Structure 1
């Protein structure tokens, strides 16, 4: 009985300790969030862009500022704001900003999984996420190889990037493609130079475009590999397969 009593008391003590630690961590996280909220408000007011999130950078004393126009850095006290690319120099030179962008791209792509227009391979081995514009010549060239890409085991998931911005016909055409009864067919028709019936619906075309800007997309096609690295332009199907295989081995 004494053993059972002591075990129960110990269990209660552990539970209380966990609860106390959880409370401390929650309070600490809330305090950090409040501190970042002040930084976000200050920088947005001063610099006139939208901050999506703030996180600790890999450099002591710096914060990583993820914005709608890319990644920036700031001192922890908010006194300095930096537009920079950070490299860590050791046995090898590591592009820390590039690594942060890779992670940022992959996290964002997950958000748009359900709103991408997917051309799925029946033998899927790889998935490419491609920012596209139906009026872009090289986007059309890439789309013309869709059967080859699918046959190679490559699924293509399109995200919208109307190059003329959100107040353009290209944007409204993109909305019509995404809102059509058969988005895959509408995309193929548009990239063949055909007209797509004007329509609208609840969609994430603008959100996809803004996310593209935030990760540095400035032209199409912008091809994101499964590891978050980018091919900033058209590549033929076999070259894309080689890039996917190389990324897989890296």
Structure 2
């Protein structure tokens, strides 16, 4: 009887579908290599414009890695046959837009009444040109440009700078707190689920290395301050091309 039960059990196991771990993909292996070797967080790995190279978007910008994971490159790829078109910047556009969606609930938005364009600005409350841009917010809004702020404390996270920016995001009236902070006024410290570190790391992944940095509607990024009229012209030209 015992032998019969054993055979029955073995038979049922043979008929059961075998569950095996899915084999690791090349992307998985390359992601692990970068994370274990460099200690970076890898958000996305895709094929690059150069055959044999993969493009990794990390929390500190874009890296290129060979298919076997043995060689690493850092920098931009340009197309000599297309007026030195920056292929790295072009490849980042789509992923940037996808990654921004996860942070829409964290943005401080200055919405234009007659909205024509939307830009996302990585900002710091101590940055001179960030303060200039903020003083001119009405000019942007009047031209139909909605401005969405994400935090990029230039001192990094953690830092007193990051704490001050968290206080802005967590204030009862964040827009007034931003006005005060960018006017050089003191604001009361406050804490909430603003994820300043996440916003800062997102900027790093996008290649932000200074503020302000503007992400446009097509996912391209303009470093530095742009007057409202100049920015509007850029947005209008790009809208025609799309």
Q: Does the TM-score normalized on the shorter chain lie above 0.5?
A: yes
* Aligned with residue 226 of structure 2, among 215, 235, 238: 235
* Aligned with residue 236 of structure 2, among 201, 225, 245: 245
Aligned residues: 221
2:38 is the counterpart of 1:47: yes
RMSD: 1.9
Counterpart contact for 2:26–2:67, Cα < 8 Å: no
* Aligned with residue 140 of structure 1, among 126, 131, 142: 131
Moved more, 231-240 or 127-136: 231-240
Residue pairs, 1:10-21, within 5 angstroms: none
Residue pairs, 1:16-95, within 5 angstroms: 31=23, 34-90=25-81, 93-95=84-86
Q: Distance in 1 between matches of 2:202 and 2:108?
A: 16
Residue pairs, 1:85-234, within 5 angstroms: 85-90=76-81, 93-234=84-225
Q: Distance in 2 between matches of 1:144 and 1:118?
A: 15
Counterpart contact for 2:77–2:86, Cα < 8 Å: yes
Alpha-carbon distance, 1:102 to partner: 2.0
Q: Distance in 2 between matches of 1:182 and 1:93?
A: 46
Q: Distance in 2 between matches of 1:91 and 1:171?
A: 41
TM score, norm. by length of structure 1: 0.82
Q: Distance in 1 between matches of 2:210 and 2:196?
A: 16
Structure 2 portions without partners, runs of 5+: 1-19
TM score, norm. by length of structure 2: 0.84
Moved more, 131-140 or 222-231: 222-231
Structure 1 portions without partners, runs of 5+: 1-26
Counterpart contact for 1:133–1:139, Cα < 8 Å: yes
Counterpart contact for 1:73–1:82, Cα < 8 Å: yes
Secondary structure of the 1:114 match is helix
Alpha-carbon distance, 1:59 to partner: 2.5
Runs of 4 or more, structure 1, over 6 Å off, are: none
Counterpart contact for 1:104–1:215, Cα < 8 Å: no
| 1:91 to 1:157, Cα distance in 2 relative to 1, 3 A | closer
Counterpart contact for 1:120–1:156, Cα < 8 Å: yes
